[in-house]
Structure 1
Amino acid sequence: MLPLHLGLFGYLLWSLHGAHSFEPAGYSLETRYIEVPLDHLEWTDKVKTFNIKYLISHVYHVPGGPIFVYIGGKGNIENYAQNSGFIFDIAKSFGALIVFIEHRYYGESLPFGNDSFRPEYIRFLTTPNALSDFVFVIDHLKKEMYENVVALDTYPIVAFGGGYGGALAAWLRMKYPFSVIGAIASSVPIEYSSSVSSCECFYDVVTKTFERYGRDQCVKTIRLGWDVVINLSKSKMGMDFLSTKWKLCQRLTTAEDVEKLLGWMATIYVKLSLNNYHYPTNFFTSLPAYPVKVFCDKLTTSFFNDTKGLVEYFGQALEVYTNYSGKLACNEFEDTTDYVYNYQLCTELIMPKCSVDSDMFINSPWNYEQFAADCKKKYGVSNGNPDWILLGYGGKNVKYFSNIVLSSGQMDPYSCYGAKTNVSSSIWAFDIADGPHHIDLRNSDVSDNNYIINARRNHVSAIKSWLNIA
């Protein structure tokens, strides 16, 4: 099958690994850019603009047919196009135009180029501005695709998104109901507030995933690993040993480096859990099927005589996430790829998380004051209201809106911030047993279980009802 082709520069996107890769035969996505305001609420004679990138395909589109819009999240838009096959799987039966819109400050959609992340420029990264970008692009598509329609009260445009992008898709329908007729929002942490959710639930779900796929011994070894790494890193010799055996790109030299390393380990456990799909994937990094199990097998089937032996096996297991392809010369533990999204977590998307005795992480209470101080130190920003997202977008009050599907997998740690039951007759919650992070938005596979298949059927039924299709 031919690889996905982006038309503007003849740029061939890399293809996914293995038999489960997403490579629609003869399929093409054209790359386009559209100029949008830097600040949608700036009213001056010299409004600064920049280009938002979007991908578009007319392969299945019929005149007057719907538009399926995928709302980009925290990454380049090509990665979402390669890992969101559901929208392609159903487009033909609906005669739909397919569009993937990139989120500002990610991928190529950088307002100030390489300077975009400087403190004076990153302040334009807000969810209201991002939503306005999407509305702006969608309005352009309406004019282009439905220009011959004299009068139309509601345009047949459906939003899709997963995780943070799923939250944006839901908020798009809630804040701008004239822009999209409905939203399929998967793995949405809709309740961003300490007042409506327990801070320990996130790491609890991660731990249960490791208990299930790695057995109890894996969780016990992970818990042991924290103390081993901390004690070993108290000396220069120990830090040198860790740096060498774990193939770290930067050698550990300070206590601050060790703190970063511990955070890096915790992040890997979370990402393994999020990406614990039942087939090989390449969503931001190359991973095997059931990577949690692969990690735990490496860790618990090894034999070691001392703590240094255990550290060596930990390093090999961690590379299931960091270097499964074996192509990297070293492992980067500095937090660089998540810098932009962490800025958003500091300013708007404040998600209370804490670890307790019952999970496999180092105990860490939720302390908003300390959290705010850390954000101030790193980004020079302060958040005046940690519940702003709850107040700004509705939180549990989504019952006042309509035409949204909120789906989540039971193995997805973000599910604990999501809706558990139907909110109203037109706000539906769908729980996917054994489901990891937005599994229902991936392309169909012969190994999918009935829960995943039923979730996708539910999505199709919802879309048909919104479009008045029998």
Structure 2
Amino acid sequence: MLSGVVVYFNMAIRAYRVIICRLVLFLFCFVVGEGRHHGFFRINELQDMRLVTDEQWFIQKLDHFNGADSRAWKQRYFVNDVFYKTGGPVFLMIGGEGPANPAWMQHGTWLTYAEKLGAICFMLEHRFYGKSHPTVDLSTENLRFLSSRQALADLAHFRTKIAEARGLLNRKWVAFGGSYPGSLAAWFRLKYPHLVDAAVASSAPLYATVNFPEYLEVVWRSLASENAECPLLVQKASDSLVERLKNPLTYDNITKDFNLCSKLQIETETDSAYFLEMLAGNFMDVVQYNEDNRGFEGVMGTNITIKVLCGVMADTSLGDPYARYAAVAHLMMDTFSMKCLDASFNNNLRDMTNTSWDGPAASGGRQWVYQTCSEFGFYQSTDSPNQPFTGFPLEYHVKQCKDFYNISAQELAEAVAETNEYYGGYDIHSARIVFPNGFIDPWHALGITQDITDDLPAVFIKGTAHCANMYPASPDDLLQLTLARDQIFLHLQRWLKQ
């Protein structure tokens, strides 16, 4: 949830993009840059732009569900009251699996809504991400305090105390979030209806599932929407690579073809799956964030689109489909200024089990994968025949829960089932929640894409990807996206008058 995946965390090596970009829901959802699209503020109206980007701190309980535990910690948040008018609503942007980016206090569709409605805006960073460190390290023992339920309790306590401190007790509150934070926005409204009056749950996966092969099925359809031959060519390339991996004599050539940092070593099925998922991730990431208008030059989804990748896969001058697949990998490495590709699962295992806040996966990778193992699953396996890749089945993903946190397959399955019992999955019983989703975005398969009731409407946006409605408007936006933003605003306007 990306968020992610820096993405919010801007991982320097591709290995983490595999873990985070697709297991993570939020990361990219919460990256807004200073690129070609400007923010919504008129500079001459601001006395000091720093006021909306200065970090502030809030005292939280470590464990909201244990009255005998009095331990506390400091949670980071941001405020923008530039548009606030007396009596106006309160907007709360929910942080997710990456650092809370203060750019959201200057950019984004929610600020357009805030200006029109006279709202004061807050953004609360998620516990265990960014600078919000509830414990001394990221040991598995400490990660037991990382959960969506604890995060919702953080939101509830923050909302209660901030309302008291700032005289906002009688104001209407609206929760915003994209991807995993979109789920939190919906669940905040569901579980604490007395504290939040409405929610915008963008690209929110509401149904937890251990196995999520539908993700790659949507990738197939999204590639085919550009060119019917594109996913077939990707499939041929992936199958060809799998055949090569069966013969150790090909490893030197594969190392060269994909510019690996060290000679390819395939000693276990996990080694093979890790490498194959890493390469498939080039297509998965681009599909998820296709033309998303984050305004971040050089970030996945801004310049590299489905059209670009399918163009490479169709270019016969590059050689056979396998050679074109390698060309896509080189294109992505160039995009991220990577000198080589680290395809070693052992290196990844070493980094993911580092429990220090200074560790290479502490920006969010270790934390988010823990949440998938302890709450959500969401594993994008190749277990479906209706998708273009081969080689990273569910067993590969589940094994990592054991490797990283000593969480067994049974414990994972039970945890995911409990998540759906607690929140209701698709069968959410609430009101005044709007569910925007993009047709291109693979995550829509776990979201709400049809109206449940008049007060639980879906906004299913053709031609758009993950969290597209959240980003600043652009002259290049599809008409469907522009209308979707307007539709969401009309829902908010109606609900805030009730």
Corresponding letter in the other structure for 2:260: L
Question: 1:448 matched to which residue of 2?
Answer: 477
Question: 1:19 matched to which residue of 2?
Answer: 36
Question: 1:342 matched to which residue of 2?
Answer: 369
Pick aligned residue for 1:269 from 269, 283, 291: 283
Pick aligned residue for 2:416 from 372, 378, 386: 386
Which runs of 5 or more structure 1 residues have no equivalent in the other structure?
1-13
1:36 aligns with 2:60: yes
Shift of 1:200: 4.1
Identity across the alignment (%): 23
Question: 1:6 matched to which residue of 2?
Answer: none
Pick aligned residue for 1:220 from 229, 232, 235: 232
The alignment partner of 1:216 has SS state of coil
Question: 1:416 matched to which residue of 2?
Answer: 445
Q: Name which structure has the greater RCO, CA cutoff 8 Å, separation 6+.
A: 2
Tell me, in whole angstroms, the C-alpha distance in 1 between the residues paired with 2:446 and 2:259.
36
For the Cα contact (< 8 Å) 1:278–1:289, is it kept in 2? no
Tell me, in whole angstroms, the C-alpha distance in 2 between the residues paired with 1:390 and 1:284.
37
1:459 aligns with 2:488: yes
Equivalent residue runs for 1:250-269 within 5 Å: 250-255=262-267, 256-269=270-283
Pick aligned residue for 2:312 from 295, 298, 301: 298
Equivalent residue runs for 1:19-418 within 5 Å: 19-20=36-37, 22=39, 24-26=41-43, 27=49, 28-44=52-68, 47-78=70-101, 81=104, 85-113=108-136, 115-116=137-138, 118-146=139-167, 152=170, 155-193=171-209, 199-213=212-226, 215-235=227-247, 238-255=250-267, 256-277=270-291, 279=293, 281-282=295-296, 285-289=299-303, 291-305=305-319, 310-311=322-323, 313-325=324-336, 327-333=337-343, 336=361, 338-351=365-378, 353-354=380-381, 355-362=383-390, 372-381=398-407, 382-383=411-412, 384-398=414-428, 400-418=429-447
Tell me, in whole angstroms, the C-alpha distance in 2 between the residues paired with 1:17 and 1:237.
47
Q: How many residues align?
A: 437
Corresponding letter in the other structure for 1:378: F
1:435 aligns with 2:464: yes
C-alpha change, 1:288 and 1:205, in structure 2 (3 Å) is same
Corresponding letter in the other structure for 2:174: V
Structure 1 range deviating more: 124-133 or 51-60? 51-60
Shift of 1:15: 7.7
C-alpha change, 1:332 and 1:421, in structure 2 (3 Å) is same
For the Cα contact (< 8 Å) 2:298–2:335, is it kept in 1? no
Corresponding letter in the other structure for 1:240: D
Question: 1:7 matched to which residue of 2?
Answer: none
Moved over 6 A (4+): none
Shift of 1:350: 2.4
TM-score for both structures, normalised by structure 1: 0.84
Which runs of 5 or more structure 2 residues have no equivalent in the other structure?
1-30, 44-48, 349-360
Corresponding letter in the other structure for 2:220: T
Shift of 1:394: 1.8
Shift of 1:185: 0.5
Corresponding letter in the other structure for 2:180: Y
Shift of 1:321: 4.0
For the Cα contact (< 8 Å) 2:379–2:397, is it kept in 1? no
Tell me, in whole angstroms, the C-alpha distance in 1 between the residues paired with 2:432 and 2:309.
40
Q: CA RMSD in A?
A: 2.9
C-alpha change, 1:201 and 1:376, in structure 2 (3 Å) is same
Tell me, in whole angstroms, the C-alpha distance in 1 between the residues paired with 2:461 and 2:32.
28
TM-score for both structures, normalised by structure 2: 0.79
